[in-house]
Copies of this chain bind each other. A is one copy, B any other.
């Protein structure tokens, strides 16, 4: 029986998780592959720390080239993350004819086209199940079981840290800062959790999903992103009064020649299936033209779930190598010659309903002034909540609108925020019904 040899570059949380799966489930994996799969070498700058998994010290090296240059190694697993060395390692490994597995969402989102092209040019496979949704096999579903569909709508809760924070805020009405502090203490968030809470991490993952859906790398910088840092318990409570739940969503919609692509806090109806995805869980809700609505739910991060996803890619590649399969599945499961470029619809041209919270002095006529500005910008109001007079300070005026154009909304808010009766910046949350057709 042949023996597939794997090299792992990066022995942090995910690397240790992948190694742990390969070690604990070696017999299952042999049955799946029809050959045994062995880790020949693990490279990391730190070869001394205890990773919580027993590992033969002889496997460890600080030199990644010992993996990339080793002719015996069939599969290179890149798990260092980031945009610098990781890219070089992957490109070199592919040039040397090695199949590559990576979990590097930032790299795929920002330089995916280079990697996909190189994989096809070198005739190797590039697999990245762990890059989106942790253990959730969403990449495989889009490349496989859903491959007959045009994707009309993709909505994802793709960042567990921000979903944890929003869940806590939605249940206990703690302010953002207090929740983050606790999440850091409990190990649910990094300190500071910048890329998690500012939407960057979710946008990276969205870029990958869009590329898979439409068969072409997307321009990452064109994805609009906005984080959760300015959300308050008050806004979450008002949203609930209107029958909504606030989630940080990554959204993509097919709009014919263009695609909507954005990450920001969204008010979705409380009975939408994504509204019930809580704590550190991730979920991806998809609508295909034939399959209709689908949901995939699971743990989006963590050593064991992410290790599960990395090893599923190793199994698939190892099976092909053991079977001497020469055929190649393109990284995005579309053949390049059919590829079209994807352009992202400018944010300002989108239309949707909005939630506004205005901070205004408590004086007669203020509501009329604000709604006057909205009316001039073609924004019509469906509901208003105006809370009773407070002894000190301004009163919040909360509104939901009909569908309005983002560009008009931004202009109106800018006018309103400069009014002398308005005491603070207006808070805005976009509203979504959660279905593909408006």
Residue numbers of A with Cβ under 8 A of B are 17, 20-21, 24-25, 27-34, 129, 135-141, 144-150, 215, 273, 276, 288-299, 302, 304-305, 307-309, 311-312, 314-316, 319-320, 323-330, 333-335, 338-339
Contacts and interface: CB of A to CB of B under 8 A. Distances in A.
Given A296-B295, A327-B320, A146 B150 contact: no
A34 to B, nearest CB: 4
A148 B21 contact: yes
Q: Is the interface of A mostly helix, strand, loop or mixed?
A: mixed
A290 B141 contact: no
Contacts of A141: 137, 140-141, 145
A390 B118 CA distance: 78
A311 B148 contact: yes
Contacts of A136: 145, 294
B291 A135 contact: yes
Contacts of A135: 288, 290-292, 294
Contact of A312 (B137, B146, B295): B146
A294 B288 contact: no
Given A32-B148, A135-B290, 20 more contacts: A24-B289, A29-B148, A33-B335, A135-B288, A135-B294, A137-B140, A140-B140, A140-B141, A140-B144, A144-B144, A144-B312, A145-B309, A146-B312, A273-B297, A290-B308, A291-B305, A291-B308, A293-B299, A319-B327, A323-B326
Contacts of A150: 25, 28
Nearest to A129: B145
A146 B308 contact: yes
> How many copies of this chain?
2
A312 B145 contact: yes
A319 to B, nearest CB: 7
A334 B147 CA distance: 23
Contacts of A30: 338
Contacts of A146: 137, 308, 312
A27 B144 CA distance: 17
Contacts of A149: 25, 308
Contact of A335 (B34, B302, B304, B311): B34
A250 to B, nearest CB: 18
Contacts of A311: 147-148, 290
Nearest to A285: B297
A288 B304 CA distance: 10
A320 B328 CA distance: 9
A22 B373 CA distance: 51
Nearest to A139: B145
Given A29-B148, A144-B140, A290 B305 contact: yes
Contacts of A34: 330, 335
Nearest to A277: B273
A71 to B, nearest CB: 22
Contacts of A288: 135, 308
Contact of A215 (B31, B139, B148, B298): B31
A292 B135 CA distance: 8
A97 B233 CA distance: 64
B295 A148 contact: no
Nearest to A144: B140
